[in-house]
Amino acid sequence: MARVDADLAGRMSRWHCWSRRRVINAVDAAVRRCDPDAIRERERQEDRRRLEVTARGDGTAKIDGIVALDAAVAFDARLTELANGVCRADPRTRAQRRTDALKAMAEARRLACLCGATDCPNRSADTAPATRIAINVIAGAHTVLGGGSQPGYIEGYGVIDAEQIRVLAQNATLRLLAEPVVSQAQALRYQPTAAVQRWVRLRDLTCRFPGCDRPAAGCDVDHTIAFNHADPRNGGLTVPWNLKCVCRQHHRDKTFNEGWRDEQLPDGTVVWTSPSGEIYRTTPGGVDLFPDMASAPACQPPTPLARNRSGERTGRIARIRSRNRTLRPINEAHRQLQQARRREIGYRKGRNHMRKMLFILKGRPSTSPYCTWINDPPEPEELPPDWRPPPQHPQPDDPPF
């Protein structure tokens, strides 16, 4: 706790106008960095997973449960997808549509639209086409490919530990995330390239308005210095250091309501000035979790790319294969080390318990020649981060009472 406290205290002065969710993420990440054994707590919770449907007696029912993280994120994403598959004229609220989508999901159908129009394309609840749910996880390369213990982030969800990242990475498409190079022509086009949009969303993680934490996936990518449609050279460029995520509501407020002004610094910080002259600085959420993402200084010279598609494809396949080969033994070694750490803590707790029992039952050191460790002082029940199992693991022998 002292280490987490010192780590957070050093950075907290920059946490200006952060949302509650973002503070939770920062604390979660700090805990996982300081205490690799926190994984045990997660595993203990995972073992308690359950799902219950209970009648409430008024014709409705309550669904309540604890589920594994990947199941929860996929379930949530699928509900949203089904709920959004109806027209705007559907009379139900978003919450009601998500609830109705549960039945559609159980029956493997689409959610039928209730707008009432005879020509509505979403009227019938046909069998839903099989879809794959995409879950975006951001993590350091050393965590994904090596034995790193830096936590990662599931887009729109929160912080997850290194071991969960490696489990998810085994069946994932990996993409190296680097600040994209933007050509002169692309910088003068209004629409950012897919690579630039992806980078800006992952750098920001949420809406950049002070205190707002709507996930970046649903946000607009906004030009801080407005794009000049008549003369692009005299307006804001379409480059990462002039782009940021803002949710629809705050985008509208900024564009149509006089008063709020914003300025973006090369490191991605946005300085907002309120109508009353109050100043708020918001830093990108991704940079706080992954300091390597801090933006490179602006104005990189564009590098032309000569593409060789078949070569790229062969290279990609080779990279995936070699990654799978390297990943397997690393994951296995990491899992074994975690198991050994848990076992060691269990042994120490067991021995300490027996020492306590000896004191309670006899009140003096044991004189037995068989179990001399029982007279040793209590052992620490926490392991240093660099602890490795000794070559031979002796089981504690029976206490002499």
- Residue 355 to residue 289: CA distance in whole angstroms: 43
Compare residues 80 and 228 and give the one whose CB is closer to Zn ion. Answer: 80
Q: Which stretch binds Zn ion (CB under 5 A): 48-56, 73-81, 115-123, 313-321?
A: 115-123
Q: Which two tokens stand for residue 381?
A: 């029940």
207 scored as a contact of Zn ion (CB under 5 A): yes
* Smallest separation (angstroms) from Zn ion to the CB of 120: 3
Q: Which one-letter amino acid corresponds to residue 32?
A: R
List, in order, residues 6 or more apart from 169 with CB less than 8 Å away.
Answer: 137, 139, 144, 327
- Residue 187 to residue 241: CA distance in whole angstroms: 11
* Smallest separation (angstroms) from Zn ion to the CB of 259: 16
Q: Which two tokens stand for residue 239?
A: 């480059």
Compare residues 113 and 345 and give the one whose CB is closer to Zn ion. Answer: 113
3-state per-residue secondary structure call for 211-251 = CCCCEHHHCEEEECCCCCCCCHHHCCCCCHHHEEEECHHHH
Compare residues 17 and 181 and give the one whose CB is closer to Zn ion. Answer: 17
245 scored as a contact of Zn ion (CB under 5 A): no
Compare residues 187 and 270 and give the one whose CB is closer to Zn ion. Answer: 270
Q: Where are the alpha helices (DSSP H) in 57-149?
A: 69-83, 94-106, 141-145
Q: Which stretch binds Zn ion (CB under 5 A): 44-52, 73-81, 212-220, 290-298?
A: 212-220
247 scored as a contact of Zn ion (CB under 5 A): yes
Identify the residue among 120, 174, 298, 383 touching Zn ion (CB under 5 A): 120
355 scored as a contact of Zn ion (CB under 5 A): no
Instruction: Enumerate residues 248-267 that contact Zn ion by CB under 5 A.
Output: 250
- Residue 350 to residue 51: CA distance in whole angstroms: 34
Compare residues 116 and 378 and give the one whose CB is closer to Zn ion. Answer: 116
* Smallest separation (angstroms) from Zn ion to the CB of 324: 40
Q: Are 188 and 223 in contact (CB under 8 A)?
A: no
Compare residues 22 and 214 and give the one whose CB is closer to Zn ion. Answer: 214
Q: How many residues bind Zn ion (CB under 5 A)?
A: 11
87 scored as a contact of Zn ion (CB under 5 A): yes
List, in order, residues 6 or more apart from 331 with CB less than 8 Å away.
Answer: 166, 167, 170
Coil, helix or strand at residue 45 = helix
Compare residues 161 and 222 and give the one whose CB is closer to Zn ion. Answer: 222
Q: Which stretch binds Zn ion (CB under 5 A): 200-208, 306-314, 325-333, 354-362?
A: 200-208
Compare residues 25 and 143 and give the one whose CB is closer to Zn ion. Answer: 25
**Which helix (DSSP H) or strand (DSSP E) does residue 280 occupy?**
strand 279-282
Distance of CA 89 to the CA centre of its chain: 34
Compare residues 199 and 209 and give the one whose CB is closer to Zn ion. Answer: 209
Identify the residue among 79, 104, 113, 160 touching Zn ion (CB under 5 A): 113
Question: Which has the closest alpha carbon to 83: 112, 123, 47, 41?
Answer: 112
272 scored as a contact of Zn ion (CB under 5 A): no
CA distances from 10 to 6, 15, 135, 206 (A): 6, 11, 32, 23
Coil, helix or strand at residue 324 = helix
Identify the residue among 18, 153, 199, 209 touching Zn ion (CB under 5 A): 209
Instruction: Enumerate residues 357-396 that contact Zn ion by CB under 5 A.
Output: none
Q: Are 381 and 352 in contact (CB under 8 A)?
A: yes
* Smallest separation (angstroms) from Zn ion to the CB of 238: 21
Q: Output 108-112 pairs: Cβ under 8 A, ≥24 positions apart.
A: 110/82, 110/85, 111/82, 111/83, 111/85, 111/86, 112/86
* Smallest separation (angstroms) from Zn ion to the CB of 39: 33
Identify the residue among 30, 31, 212, 245 touching Zn ion (CB under 5 A): 212
* Smallest separation (angstroms) from Zn ion to the CB of 379: 51
Q: Are 50 and 66 in contact (CB under 8 A)?
A: yes
Identify the residue among 115, 174, 188, 298 touching Zn ion (CB under 5 A): 115
18 scored as a contact of Zn ion (CB under 5 A): no
* Interface residue list for Zn ion (CB under 5 A): 87, 113, 115, 120, 122, 207, 209, 212, 214, 247, 250
